């Protein structure tokens, strides 16, 4: 049985809520003003507190602040006759999970209470964000404590003590370069150079000279001798990112370097001995490319002595809250803001998202939301998730554009109406649930209903 504390100076409202919530099977305690309620919170534990906004001495916002200082895990809903977006932001900044107007629909209110208590675990996880980031396993610049990442950390520790070639595989944005850097930093070569090159980001005619250097006069523009990256990395590590993009002719030369530890500059005749550990990375299936003849099979096996697989973010979702909090702190400092947290509904939205761009995409999403956020909390409305997947948005991309053109505002309004109606129908009439389905606030949904005449 969940325990609920009702705080309201209006006797009729207080008694109404007591009768309503007791009838729903909850254990209900009530207080007529903030100081009395604070005293109760200090002595007892409540799963949920429902508090009025306008009260004598201590108003609802101030009361919420006191509650969160005493017991951060307690959920709070603000109830008010004076609703406004500013009130919502102020309440959420102090830790409220939601707020409703006093002329609420009884069934919607019951649904909100049930949903709020069901999501208690999510709210508790939010309160533990800071502790999680402090207690999380962090390896170099890599953050995460999922089972998948613990396996990666274990492999890094093992391979760091060897000079064996390593191939890091995984989708774009998973942090393959961070793994390569962690291997280097935990090896005996950590005081020597760590040199990186993107094999897919340099034109083929320049890539060879970048890797192996060149001699003066070897081609137009070669006005002096130049060291290549293998020479620069002597004694240390070279990281060959996007190795699958390496042209066949350079694959042959790289294989020779691996076998002989010797390079030769473009236009040069002198062999140069190099002591370099090679770490490669790819988001392609090199084994399949080898079968197709676009990647040398012998080079693949030379590079793939120890494989490390970086899991996509969708397969390590327990790391999303930790990473999110880390990026919020990072970009709050960068932009000179005081954003310290993210709403629980925004976390839910991130947890449901597939992240085709992985950790790099999550970082971009949080950077953008922090840059645009005007309050002290990241709200769902400010999370721009670009990959909508196979949902209804894709259908609207096929709308034909006739020669005479269309009324954009009218069409957008029709699309909005359609989605809102479907959300309310799917939520069995609950505006709170419908707002969640649409990833907007209840206030925003109410405004849109009035604007589109859907009341």
Q: In sequence order, what are the beta bridge partners of 239?
A: 196, 279
pTM of the predicted model as reported, rounded to 2 decimal places: 0.58
pLDDT at 385: 80
Q: Do domains 3-118 and 147-310 have the same CATH topology?
A: yes
The CATH code that applies to domain 3-118 is 3.40.50.2300
Mean pLDDT for each consecutive 10-residue tract of the chain (455 residues)? 89 92 91 91 91 86 90 87 70 81 87 81 52 59 90 91 94 95 95 94 86 87 89 96 93 94 91 95 93 93 94 94 93 90 86 91 94 85 66 45 68 77 82 84 78 71
Quick check: helix, strand or coil at residue 421?
helix
Structure token pair of residue 21:
């919530």
**What's the distance, CA 84 to chain centroid?**
29
pLDDT at 393: 40
The CATH code that applies to domain 147-310 is 3.40.50.300
The CATH code that applies to domain 130-136+314-382 is 1.10.8.60
* Fold of the CATH domain 393-451: Arc Repressor Mutant, subunit A (1.10.10)
Closest CA to 115 of 130, 100, 129, 102: 100
Give the 3-state secondary structure percentages of the chain, helix then strand then coil, rounded to 5: 50, 15, 35
pLDDT at 134: 46
Domain boundaries, the chain: 3-118, 130-136+314-382, 147-310, 393-451
pLDDT at 416: 79
pLDDT at 398: 47
User: Of all helices (H) and strands (E), which one includes residue 149?
Assistant: helix 147-160
């Amino acid at each position: 049985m969940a325990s609920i504390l009702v705080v309201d100076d209006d006797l009729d409202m207080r008694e109404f809520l007591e009768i309503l919530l007791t009838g729903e099977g909850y254990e209900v305690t009530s207080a007529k003003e903030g100081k009395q309620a604070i005293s109760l919170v200090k002595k007892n534990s409540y799963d949920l507190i429902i508090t009025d906004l306008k009260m004598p001495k201590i108003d609802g916002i101030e009361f919420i602040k006191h509650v969160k200082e005493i017991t951060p895990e307690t959920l709070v809903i603000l109830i008010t006759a004076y609703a406004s977006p500013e009130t919502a932001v102020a309440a959420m900044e102090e830790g409220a999970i939601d707020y409703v107007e006093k002329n609420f629909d009884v069934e919607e209110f019951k649904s909100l209470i049930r949903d709020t208590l069901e999501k208690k675990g999510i709210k508790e996880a939010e309160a533990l964000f800071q502790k999680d980031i402090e207690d999380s396993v962090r390896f170099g610049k890599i953050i995460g404590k999922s089972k998948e990442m613990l396996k990666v950390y274990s492999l890094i520790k093992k391979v760091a003590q060897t000079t064996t070639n390593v191939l890091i595989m995984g989708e774009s944005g998973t942090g393959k370069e961070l793994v390569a850097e962690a291997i280097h930093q935990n090896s005996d070569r950590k005081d020597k150079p760590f040199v990186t090159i993107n094999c897919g980001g340099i034109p083929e005619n320049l890539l060879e000279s970048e890797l192996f250097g060149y001699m003066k006069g070897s081609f137009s523009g070669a006005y002096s001798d130049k060291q290549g990256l293998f020479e620069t990395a002597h004694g240390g590590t070279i990281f060959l990112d996007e190795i699958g993009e390496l042209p066949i002719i350079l694959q042959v030369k790289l294989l020779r370097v691996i076998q002989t530890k010797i390079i030769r500059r473009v236009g040069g005749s002198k062999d140069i001995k190099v002591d370099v550990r090679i770490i490669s990375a790819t988001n392609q299936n090199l084994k399949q490319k080898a079968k197709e003849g676009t990647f040398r099979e012998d080079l693949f096996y030379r590079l793939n002595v120890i494989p490390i697989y970086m899991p996509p973010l969708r397969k390590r979702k327990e790391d999303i809250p930790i990473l999110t909090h880390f990026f919020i702190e990072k970009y709050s400092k960068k932009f000179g803001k005081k954003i310290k947290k993210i709403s629980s509904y925004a976390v839910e939205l991130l947890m449901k998202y597939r992240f085709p761009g992985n950790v790099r995409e999550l970082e971009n999403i949080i950077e953008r939301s922090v840059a645009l956020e005007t309050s002290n909390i990241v709200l769902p409305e400010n999370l721009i998730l670009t990959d909508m997947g196979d949902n209804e948005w894709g259908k609207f991309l096929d709308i034909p554009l006739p020669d005479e053109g269309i009324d954009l505002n009218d069409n957008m309004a029709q699309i909005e109406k359609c989605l809102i109606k479907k959300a309310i129908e799917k939520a069995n009439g609950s505006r709170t649930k419908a707002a969640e389905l649409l990833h907007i606030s209840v206030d925003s949904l109410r405004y849109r209903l009035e604007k589109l005449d859907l009341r």
